[in-house]
Amino acid sequence: MKTYQELSREELLKLREQLEGAYEDAKGKGLKLDMSRGKPSAAQLDMSREFLDTLNSDSEMKSENGLDVRNYGAMDGIPEAKRLMGQIMGVPAENVIVCGNASLTVMYDTVSRSMTHGVLGSTPWCKLDRVKFLCPVPGYDRHFAVTQHFGIEMINIPMTPQGPDMDMVEKLVSGDESVKGIWCVPKYSNPQGYTYSEETVRRFANLKPAAEDFRIYWDNAYAVHHLYEDRQDTLPDILSLCAEAGNPDMVYEFCSTSKITYAGAGISAVAASKANLDDIKKTLTLQTIGFDKVNQLRHVRYLKDMEGVKAQMKRHADWMRPKFDAVLAVLDKELTGLGIGQWTRPNGGYFISFEAMEGCAKAIVAKCKEAGMVLTEAGATYPYGKDPKDSNIRIAPSFPTPQEMEQAAELFVLCVKLVSVEKVLADREQAGEAAVG
Q: pLDDT at position 61, please?
A: 97
pTM of the predicted model, to two decimals?
A: 0.96
- 254-259-264-267 Cα dihedral, nearest 10 degrees: -40
Using the predicted structure, report yes or no on whether residue 434 has a pLDDT greater than 60.
Answer: no
pLDDT band, residue 342 (cuts 50/70/90): very high
Using the predicted structure, report yes or no on whether residue 405 has a pLDDT greater than 90.
Answer: no
- 276-280-285-289 Cα dihedral, nearest 10 degrees: -110
Using the predicted structure, report yes or no on whether residue 416 has a pLDDT greater than 60.
Answer: yes
Query: From the CB of residue 123, how many other CB atoms can be counted at a distance below 10 Å?
Result: 12
| Closest C-alpha among 70, 42, 60, 91 to residue 301 | 60
- Residues 377-396: what's their mean pLDDT? 97
- CATH dotted code for 61-304: 3.40.640.10
Q: Is the peptide bond before 236 cis (omega within 30 degrees of 0)?
A: no
DSSP character at residue 62: B
List, in order, residues 6 or more apart from 50 with CB less than 8 Å away.
Answer: 302
**How remote is the C-alpha of 108 from its chain's centroid?**
15
Cβ–Cβ under 8 Å, residues 383 and 144? yes
pLDDT band, residue 433 (cuts 50/70/90): low
- Residues 71-91: what's their mean pLDDT? 97
**Phi/psi of residue 191, each to 5°?**
-110, 0
How far is the first Cα of the chain from the last one, in angstroms, to the nearest whole number? 34
- 253-301 pLDDT, tens per residue? 999 999 999 999 999 999 999 999 999 999 999 999 999 999 999 999 9
Using the predicted structure, report yes or no on whether residue 435 has a pLDDT greater than 60.
Answer: no
Type of residue numbered 271 = A
- The rounded distance, in Å, linking the Cα atoms of 168 and 175 is 11
Cβ–Cβ under 8 Å, residues 392 and 326? no
Using the predicted structure, report yes or no on whether residue 197 has a pLDDT greater than 90.
Answer: yes
Using the predicted structure, report yes or no on whether residue 360 has a pLDDT greater than 60.
Answer: yes
pLDDT band, residue 143 (cuts 50/70/90): very high
Q: pLDDT at position 35, please?
A: 83
Q: pLDDT at position 437, please?
A: 45
- Alpha helix positions (H), 293-382: 293-303, 306-335, 361-370
- 15-32 pLDDT, tens per residue? 999 999 999 999 998 888
Average pLDDT of the chain?
Answer: 96
- Residues 364-385: what's their mean pLDDT? 96
Q: pLDDT at position 436, please?
A: 42
Cα angle vertex 105, ends 65, 80, to 5°? 15
- CATH dotted code for 4-44+310-431: 3.90.1150.10
Q: pLDDT at position 431, please?
A: 79
Cα angle vertex 122, ends 120, 126, to 5°? 120
Question: How many helices (H) and strands (E) would you count in the chain?
Answer: 13, 13
Domain ranges of the chain: 4-44+310-431, 61-304
Using the predicted structure, report yes or no on whether residue 399 has a pLDDT greater than 90.
Answer: no
